[in-house]
Homo-oligomer: A and B are copies of this chain.
Amino acid sequence: MKIDINCDMGESFGRYKLGLDEEVIKLISSANVGCGFHAGDPHVMRKTVDMAKQHGVGVGAHPGLPDLLGFGRREMKVSPEELKDYCIYQIGALKAFVEIAGMKLQHVKMHGALLNMGLANEELAVAMCEATKDINPDLIWVTFSGIRTVEIARSIDLKVIQEFYADRAYNADKTLVSRKTPGAVLKDPQQISARINQLIETGTVTTLDGQPLKLAYDSICVHGDTPGALEIIRTIRGIMADHNIAIKPMAELV
C-alpha cells in the first residue's frame, strides 16, 4: 500500500515569506509549487525546486489567477482561452526550473479560486486540463476526490490523482466547505487523525452535516502555513506507518 502527501509550497514572494517550506518539505512526497501569479517568484521557484530535489519530493505546478493581492482566492471572470494561456505560461515557467534541476515535472494542481471556477464552469475546467495535456500528456492531474474535473481530465487521457483534504470540512457533493463557514478549517491534530483513520478504515469521511461520504483517494493534501502544520503532518505520517502504508510521490502511484 502506498499513498502520497502533497502540500502547496513556494508561495513566498520577494521579501514576503509564507509557510514553513524548509520543514514541511522533509515530511511530504509531492510539492505543488506556486508559479508567480497568485504567489511565488522566479527566485522562490528555483529554491523550492532545489529543496524538493534534495528531499526526493515530486514537483508539480500550482497555477493561480493573476491576482497576487488576493492570493488567487478571488474568482475572476476570465475566458477559457485566457485561462488556458495563463496555465501554459505558469506551468512552462516552472517546468524550466524543474528540468534545469535534472527532474521531470510530475503534476499540475490548480490553486485557490481556480478550483471552484473549474467546478462551476465546464469550459474553464476543460481549459485547465488541456493546458496541462498540451504541456505534456504524461503530467498527472491532481484534484479533489470524486469531482467533475476528475472525469474531464480522464476524458482527455490525463492520469488523475484524487486527493483528500486532511484539514478541511466536506460538503455532501464532495466539495470543500467554504473557508468563510465556521468549522471549514480543522486545526486539531486529534480531530484530523480521527478523520484519516476513518478514511483509511472505511473509505469515508463525515461531512459537515454529519453524513458519511465515500471518497476515493490517492493523496492527502496538507497545508504548511499554520503553526500546527508540522504536528499535523507528522501525525498523518504516523497513521500511515501504523497501517503499513508507504508515503511515495504520486508519480509512483499512477
Chain A residues near B (Cβ < 8 Å): 13-18, 36, 39, 41-43, 45-46, 66-71, 74-78, 81-82, 85-86, 88-97, 100, 113, 134-135
Contact = CB atoms under 8 A, between A and B. Distances in A.
Nearest to A36: B89
Nearest to A135: B96
User: What number of copies of this chain does the assembly contain?
Assistant: 4
Nearest to A75: B77
A201 to B, nearest CB: 36
Contacts of A76: 67, 70, 74-77
A46 B95 CA distance: 17
Contacts of A71: 14-15
A85 B15 contact: no
Contacts of A14: 68-71
A75 B113 CA distance: 13
Contact of A45 (B39, B81, B89): B89
B96 A91 contact: yes
Contact of A93 (B41, B92, B134): B92
B18 A18 contact: no
Return the 3 tightest CB-CB contacts between A and B, nearest first: A92-B96, A16-B16, A42-B85
B93 A89 contact: yes
Contacts of A43: 81-82, 85
A88 B95 CA distance: 10
Given A42-B85, A74-B77, A92-B95, 9 more contacts: A41-B69, A45-B85, A75-B77, A89-B97, A92-B93, A93-B93, A93-B96, A95-B96, A100-B134
